[in-house]
Structures are given as C-alpha cells and as structure tokens.
Amino acid sequence: MQKMNKKTIIGFAVFVVLIILFFNKIILSPDDAATINADLLRMTSLWEGQINENLEKNNGLILWNSDVYSGTPFIGSPLTTMFYPISIIFYFVPFHKAIAYVMALNLFLIVVFFYLYLRLIRISRFSAMFSVAIFVFSGMVVLWAGIMSFINALMWFPLLLYFLERAIQEKRLVFGFLIGLVFGIQILGSGPQIFLYSAFVLFLYGALRLIYERKGLVRVSWIFAIAAVIGILIGSVQLLPMLEYTKYSIRGSGLGYETATMHSLPGYALITFLMPEFYGRGGLYWGFWKNSSFAEQYIYVGLTTLVLLLIAIFFVRKNKYAAIFAIIALFSLLFSLGKYTPFYRIFYSLPLFDSFRAPVRMMIFFVFSSAVISGFSLDALKEFDEEKKERLRKLLYVIGLLAAIVAIVAIISYTNREALIEFGKDMALKLYSENADASRITRSGLSRDYFLSLVPIILKNIFNSISIFLITIALILLVFYLWVQNKIRLKHLSWLLLIILIAELFMFSTKFIEPAGFGNRFETNPIIENIKKDEGLFRVLSLRSYQTKDNLPQYMAIKNDIQLASGCDAIFLRKYAEYSCFYGDCEVKADACIPINDVKYPRMIDLLNIKYVISPKDVNDGSLSFILNYNGANLYKNNDYLSRAYFVSKAIAVDKNEVLNAIVNKSFHPMNYIVTDENISDLNLFDRSEYRELEIESYSPNKVAIENEFGTNGFVVLSDVNYPGWNAYVDDEKAKIYDVNYILKAVYVNKGRHRIEFMYEPKYYKIGLYLSIFGLLLALFMAFLLR
C-alpha cells in the first residue's frame, strides 16, 4: 500500500474541506434542512425508519414489509441495506442528518480509494488528486450520492481496482480474499445494477491487463475464482433473498427490450459534454423530452477534462493503462447508447442484463475512465519538449477556431432571437403533442400555453450555456497558451487548470444540493387526519394512473401509520400486480409503483382489507360512501371491506388460471367461501357456510397471532399476501398454508379452540446469514494468514 506522506494527507484534508463546502447547506445547517430525491423520500427514509422501529419494539430485524402492497418481502428488496456497514449511521442519527453525513462519507471514501489506485498505476500525487476531483465532483457522482443503491455499489469500485491491480502485479492469493471481501460488502450495499456493471467492467479491466501482462494467467484466474466465491458467500444474506424475490417479481422473466432500453443515451445528449444545461434542467428538461431524464443523462465532466482527453489522444498513446481505460470508455459509451445502436442487444441477450433499465448508467465508467486518462495526460505534460509544445499549440489553435465558430453562430443567432423564439414555439408545439401523455407533464397539469411561455426562457438558458462554455474554454486555452509560450511554469499551469476544473464542476453540480425542511415533507392534511381517527387494522387504496399524482404518497402514509394496498419499491410481486391490475385498470409492467386507476371489481378490494379509497375522480359505487374532498381528491369509506383476519367454513377449488375469474364471478361472495387452486379434497369441510371476523392478538411485520373458538371446521384467512417463507402453526404444530383468493394465505383448522400463528421464516435468509458469517470469517482469516 502507498505510504501517506505529508502532501498526501494535506491533499485529503483539502478534499474534506471541499466536500464540506459542497454539502454545506445540509451538513452545517442547524435545522432539519436536507436534500432529498424521490427515492430517498418515498423509499429509503421509510425502510430505514422501519428497521429502527422494529428494533425499538424488540421485534428483531424486520424481514417482511406489511405497510405496502398488502405485504411484500422486506429482506431481499434491492433498496434495503440492513447488513451494509455504513447503514449503521441511520440507526443513531436522524435520517435527514444521516443522509448528509453518508453522502459526504461516501464521496470521501471514493477520494481515498481512487487515489490509492491512481498512485499504484504511477500517476503523480498532484495528477491523482486532479483525477479524483474530476470523478468525485462530476455530475453523475454528485447525483448518485443521493441514491443509496447506486453509490453503495459505486464507491467500492476503485478499491476493487486497487486490489485487482495489485493481484495482477504481485500474483498473491491474498488479494483474492481481499477482493472477495470488498465484493461482499458491495453486494450488502444492494444496488444490483451498478454491482453487475462494475463487476463486468472489472472483468474487462482484468482481461485487458492480462493481455498486456502476458503471464500469470492461471494464478490470476485462481484469484478471480476465490474473489467470486468469497464475495458471493459474504453477500449471501442480501443476495439469496433478493434472487428469490426477483424470481417472483415483475422482473423475474426479464424486461422487454423497449422497457430495458428506457433511458438510453440519445445522440442529441452528447452536446451536454460541452454545455450541461443546453437543454435546460429539472422541470424544463423533463417537460420537453419523453422517456428522457436530466438526472440520468447528466454526463458533464468539465471542459478541462475534455481538453486533457484530446491531449491524451495525441500524446499519451503508448501508456497501457490509458489504452485500457480508453477501451473501457468506448465500451461504456456504446453500451449507454442502448437502443440507438445494435451493440446493446448483445448484452440484452445475456443473463441478468435484461433485468435492468437505463443503459445510460454505464456512463459512470466513462466518467471514471476519463478521470484516469486525464491524470496521465496531465503527467505527460512534464515530458513535453519544444517540438511537442508546438504540436500542442496547433491543437489549441484548432480548439480555439472551433470555439470561435460557436461564438459567431451564437452572435448571429442572438441578433435573430425573435425568429428563433418563433421557431422554438413551433418546436414546443410539436414536442408537446408528441409528449402530451408524459407523466411529468400530466401529473403537474402543465398546459401547452405554459410550455410556449417558457420558450424565451429556454432560449436565454441556451445562450447562457454557450456563454459559459466560451468563457471557460477561453480560460483553459489561455493558460495552456501561456505555458506553451513559456510564460508560466508547469506547476502554475496545473494549479490553474485545477482551479478552473473545480470552479466549473462546482458551478453546475452544487445546483443539485437543494435543501428543504425534511419535516415539512410530512405535514398532514384532512384526508390523513380523518383516516387516523379510525384505530382499526385496515388498508387504504390511493387510486392514480401513470399520468396523475398520488394523493396519498407512500411516505405520507407510512409516517402516519397507514398501511397501503398500493405502494412503491424497486420491485414488486408479479401475482400482486396481476391481481391489482385485474381490478385496477392498469398495465402490469416493471416500474417503481403499481398505478391502480380504478375499482372495476369492488369485491377484490374487499378481500384486501381496504377500508378507505382515495380517488381523484368521482366513484359511483354503492359500497363506497363519500366522506370528504380535499385538494381535488375524494375520500371514500368501503362499507363492505373484510377484516384483516376472518374465518370461512367453505372453499372451492378451481384451475390455477381460473382463480381471478372465479373471484369476480357474480355468484362469488367472500363471506361464503374462499377460492383456491390447491387440492382440498382431503379436508373435512361441511356444506354449511359460516363467516366470522377474528380478533388479532398480536400483529408485527414478521409474526401474526390469532386465538379463537371455532364452531366448525374451516379456514382462517389472513388478508396478507402469501409468499415463500411464511409458515403457519396451529397450537404449536406446523400447518400447511393454502394459497387462497389468488394472493392471500389461509390455514385449515378443526372445530374447537385454537391458537394460530403466521410467522415469516424465510429459509434463504437463514441460509444466506450463515453463509455470510462463514464467508466473512474465512476472508478475514485467510487475509491474515496470507498477509
């Protein structure tokens, strides 16, 4: 490992200061200011809160999420990180502060890990710090800093590269265990997409390095094998439940090509390499581009970086590491183009790659590669003689000429801006008509006139972007010109370039730090207050479509102890989506939420213990009683809802494919019998129909207990989703759980008094836990033994 001298320590200290300055609005804020994106607000903050709540109530680790989707796995969700070491911060610090500290800590760890790797491949101290600055303050990394599932996987990538490079150089087996240890931690941090991408890039790097090395292939292959085994073992407690969940989820059979290629990098987005806000940002960007995301496509690395990449093309051709990262950068770019080239289809046909959307996320490794190459480019300047300076001078002239052409075009355009505004309005009308159903437009109720009024503002933003581009490129060319003319020394050039780089990255990236009062997000309203008056155990259904807003957002519901039949998470169960969309008039597809839009079959919501329905439109159904309207949303009470647990004495068995049809049949009444696709011929059931609501003795995410007297044989039905891992015990004896009413669970009981317990005891979690402990101990022991 590289020794830390005084200059290195000072460099790290500078980065600490820069990171604190970058996040000062949230780290140093005395109140509850936080920068929270949608995923953090509606998922991460809630799941971390559920972990804490379960521990405080002495219920152990939460394994089942009973708050959304009428019950769904908690362990195995790609957004839960109970066993990830850094997540411990959330257990001791309020979430809005913890997220700021975790963001800053993650970026600092990237600084350290990346620096170690860069020094290992012989990039000088200053150039290494320069490269680190490019990566850490680039737009993609800053945006990902607030997406835990992304940054948790990304932050370990440079450390993996460091250990892999040492393994290739030294051929020592100990690095197999060290790489495996980091791999395991990366898996525990969730973020399966970024883990998969980083693992592939790591493999590509290793293969390219071995081509240059031309020796030690067998030894390094053993190191790879050890790393893979150890990583899978350590990550098993997260990985095995996740694989099981994925099997039964909406993504279990992979995504369709159109869905998988959503958020491919379009050709027009490449101009944002030069001008990151050319197409606007935030709401303006979304308003005009369907299936396009400013956040996903923010690929700006700084003009300073681009100039250094150009220098590398002409002057750093023989460096093997620069060549390797040039290949990785090219691969990342081609992959990110997704549906716009045939290249992505190769990977879509491979296992796992078809389970994820947004190929553009591979661009993070383009950014990483650009940072590495820039370091080599900066170091190469030390070897420049007058001949090379002359060649560089010519390159600077070409860049200056191109910038001058841009300036001339901008000036001509500015003098004709009225005509451009009219052209822009025509384009806005065309784009609006093509994107009128885009959810980001419809949810906010944005009209055509609204977008027409924005055209002058957008044109102004374009001219501002061009101005910033021209000023920045002029400064870069100036300092380079002063150096090639021997007016300043290389040391001065390097520092001036670093200052320009930090300034341009901060100028754009700090805009993503938009603090707001965290507590203000959870202010209640009359609908929530009315529901909270009801102290029973029930669920609420908030109707919406992809094009309309949610009138009871998940984060508002859970923070107010309201359980939902709807919900949002990274993945959800396919059977539940099929059930929901059967009555809810929605499309079963991979998304963060199930947009249940209607109640076509009221009995299907009765079965789910749904007592209240919130709808943006009037609902004419005799079973729903109107309560109030607030802010365009109607609150209804479902008079026919069934209790969370009940007893039914009769059952009918139908074919697996006929269960839903049987439920919506007019002759079906849930109080008379249940519908199942399982064999019940051996059960002693009577013809007499009996229904009774059951009082639940105790209800927690992992366990439900019921004790009651039953006057006849029949089924105890729990209106929670059935899923592998749920076990039932009748009087402490294990009993079979039946799939009933398509998605619910029930247990058969004989006449008499019985105690029934439903317990979530997922076997893959238990197996994974033991494997993780074994893998961790093995990795630590072997790393110590082989040190």
Quick check: 27 pLDDT over 90?
Answer: no
Per-residue pLDDT band at 442 (split at 50, 70, 90): low
- What is the chain's mean pLDDT, rounded? 87
Q: 658 and 762, same structural domain?
A: yes
**Which whole number is the average pLDDT over 41-63?**
78
Look up the pTM and report it.
0.89
Asked if residue 254 has pLDDT above 80, the reply is no
546: pLDDT strictly greater than 70: no
Q: Do residues 559 and 662 both lie within one domain?
A: no
DSSP state of 611: E
Name the DSSP letter for residue 316.
-
Mean pLDDT of 685-711: 89
Per-residue confidence (pLDDT) for residue 3, from 0 to 100: 60
State yes or no: pLDDT of 716 exceeds 80: yes
The pLDDT confidence band at residue 687, using thresholds 50, 70 and 90, is confident
pLDDT band, very low/low/confident/very high, at 10 (cuts 50, 70, 90):
confident
pLDDT score of 641 more than 90: yes
Does residue 600 belong to any structural domain of this protein? yes
Question: Is residue 284 scored above 80 in pLDDT?
Answer: no
Give 440's pLDDT tier (boundaries 50, 70, 90): low
Whether 523 has a pLDDT exceeding 50, the answer reads: yes
- Flag whether 758 is in a domain: yes
Lowest-pLDDT range, 316-330, 412-426, 637-651?
412-426
What backbone phi and psi angles, to 5 degrees, belong to 714?
170, -155
* Percentage with pLDDT > 70 across the chain: 93
Residue 766 has pLDDT above 90, yes or no: yes
Helix 763-785 and helix 236-248: axis angle, to 10°? 150
Is residue 188 assigned to a domain?
Answer: no
Q: Residues 15-25: what's their mean pLDDT?
A: 80
The C-alpha atoms of residue 147 and residue 38 are separated, in whole angstroms, by 9
Same domain, 592 and 527: yes
Is 528 in the same domain as 588? Answer: yes
> CA 474 to CA 403: how far, in whole Å?
8
pLDDT value at 291 more than 50: yes
pLDDT (tens digit per residue) in 473-489: 999 999 999 999 999 99
Confidence of residue 286 (pLDDT cuts 50, 70, 90): very low
pLDDT at 133 over 90: yes
Q: 622 with 675, same domain?
A: no
**Nearest partner of 312 among 376, 401, 266, judged by Cα:** 376
Domain for residue 680, yes or no? yes
CA distances from 679 to 47, 670, 676, 739 (A): 38, 19, 8, 10
Of the candidates 180, 188, 156, the residue with the CA atom closest to the CA atom of residue 368: 156
Interval 407-427 mean pLDDT: 87
Sign of the C-alpha dihedral computed for residues 739, 743, 747 and 751 taken in this order: negative
Q: Is the model more confident about 439 or about 561? A: 561
Q: What integer is the mean pLDDT of 133-152?
A: 86
pLDDT value at position 422? 86
Count of structural domains, the chain? 2
pLDDT tens digits for 99-118?
888 888 888 999 999 999 99
Q: How confident is the model at residue 439 (pLDDT cuts 50, 70, 90)?
A: low
Q: Is residue 622 part of a domain?
A: yes
Note down the domain range covering 589. 520-638
**Residue 32 pLDDT grade (very low, low, confident, very high; cuts 50, 70, 90):** low
Does the residue 256 lie in any domain? no
pLDDT of residue 292: 60
pLDDT of residue 158 exceeding 50, the answer is yes
- In this prediction, residue 29 has a pLDDT band, given cuts at 50, 70 and 90, of low
Per-residue pLDDT at 312: 94
Same domain, 739 and 631: no
Question: Same structural domain for residues 628 and 528?
Answer: yes
Q: Are residues 709 and 732 in the same domain?
A: yes
pLDDT surpasses 70 at 308:
yes
H/E element holding 402?
A: helix 386-415
- 427, 451 in Cβ contact below 8 A? no
Last residue of a domain, one of 579, 611, 638: 638
Q: Are residues 528 and 622 in the same domain?
A: yes
What is the band of 597 on the pLDDT scale with cuts at 50, 70, 90?
confident
- Specify whether the backbone of 586 is left (phi greater than 0), alpha (psi in -120 to 50) or beta: beta
Query: What is the Cα–Cα distance from 240 to 233, expressed in whole angstroms?
Result: 10
Q: 691 lies in a domain?
A: yes
Same-domain check for residues 602 and 669: no
Q: Give the model's confidence band at 287: pLDDT under 50 very low, under 70 low, under 90 confident, else very high.
A: very low
pLDDT band at 197 (very low <50, low <70, confident <90, very high): very high
Nearest-angstrom CA–CA distance, 667 and 222: 65
Q: How many DSSP H helices and E strands does the chain contain?
A: 30, 21
Quick one: 528 and 616 in the same domain? yes
More confident residue, 591 or 500: 500
Decide if 482 is inside a domain.
no
624 plus 586 within the same structural domain: yes
Residue 38 in this model has a pLDDT that exceeds 80: no
Domain C-terminal end among 573, 607, 638: 638
